[in-house]
Amino acid sequence: MFLEVKNLSKTYTDKKFFGENKFNALDGVDFSMKDGESLSVIGGSGSGKTTFGRIISKLLDFDGGSVKYYGKDIKSYNITEFSGIVQMIFQNPYASLNPKLKIRSSLLEAFGAGAPSNAEDIIEKTLESAGLEKKILDNFPHQFSGGQRQRIAVARALIKKPKLIVADEPFASLDVYSQNNITEIFKSVRKNTGVSIILITHDIAAAIKFADRMIIMNEGKIIKDDSSENVFKEKENAYITDLLAAMEI
């Protein structure tokens, strides 16, 4: 199994002067996926989907349960090793690139200290698969639109040739055209490189369009894990019927 998550839990503690507030972001999440599989995770705000994405990307520690890639615990991977397995794409494309660095420097970072001699070729090829031209390398991030920046972020993630890309609301702040554009890029990247993509979103239509498998999260739990067609057939779950009703409006 590529990724196996068992009984995962995460509690955010807000320390006050007297006592503390606790919030269970994840509460016993079980989940697994095969190599090359892609899926979308949907759920409302506060359902735990971003926390889930960050934990499986090793950006956040968790409190209970286990996360394993290829049967090996996520905590026993060092960051260099791990960077070749999982990469992440973030919600806000405007903050995804260092405003003080040219695109070239941002992308070269993927090679670490010693960039190979063919680094420029690799970058060029990756840019192409993200629908970008080579000339953007000499520009600064503020010269690009949100959609373009998000594509640059996709290219950066691809340079490492990861097995999995976690995309956390990658088009929440983009217009419909750019949304569609990014979804198409994801699809073609998936087809060409065999990379798995987990798309975290609250946009149900985009989620259905993107993947066959769909997970619905609510209050820190996975309440449904099924094919995109079957997910909404089950009417007895109150949350799912609510989601459906919201979609039809």
Partner 1 sequence: MNKIFKNKAAFAGVVFIAAVVFIAVFAPFIAPYEPASQDLSVRLAAPSAAHILGTDDLGRDVFSRMVYGARVSMAVGFFAALLTVLIGTLLGMVSGYFGGIADSVIMRFTDIMLCFPTFFLILLVIAFFEPNIYNVMLVIGLTSWTGLARIVRAEVLSIREREFVLASKMLAVSKSRLFFIHILPNVISPIIVYAAIGIGGAILTESGLSFLGLGVQPPMSSWGQILMQGKDYIYAAWWLSLFPGIVILFTVLSFNLIGEALRDILDPKEYS
Residues near partner 1 (CB under 8 A) are 57-59, 79-80, 82-83, 86-88, 90-92, 94-101, 106, 109-110, 112-113, 142, 153, 156-157, 160
Q: 3-class secondary structure for 108-131?
A: HHHHCCCCCCCHHHHHHHHHHHCC
For the CB of residue 114, give the shortest distance to partner 1 in the complex, in Å.
Answer: 12
Pick between residue 79 and residue 245 the one whose CB is nearest to partner 1: 79
Angle between helix 119-129 and helix 146-159 axes, rounded to 10 deg: 130
For the CB of residue 228, give the shortest distance to partner 1 in the complex, in Å.
Answer: 28
DSSP 233: T
Pick between residue 24 and residue 173 the one whose CB is nearest to partner 1: 173
For the CB of residue 131, give the shortest distance to partner 1 in the complex, in Å.
Answer: 19
The answer for 71, left when phi > 0, alpha when psi is -120 to 50, beta otherwise, is left
For the CB of residue 242, give the shortest distance to partner 1 in the complex, in Å.
Answer: 31
Please report which residue ranges of the chain form alpha helices under DSSP H.
49-56, 79-83, 103-108, 119-129, 146-159, 176-193, 204-210, 228-231, 238-248
Pick between residue 24 and residue 83 the one whose CB is nearest to partner 1: 83
Pick between residue 160 and residue 187 the one whose CB is nearest to partner 1: 160
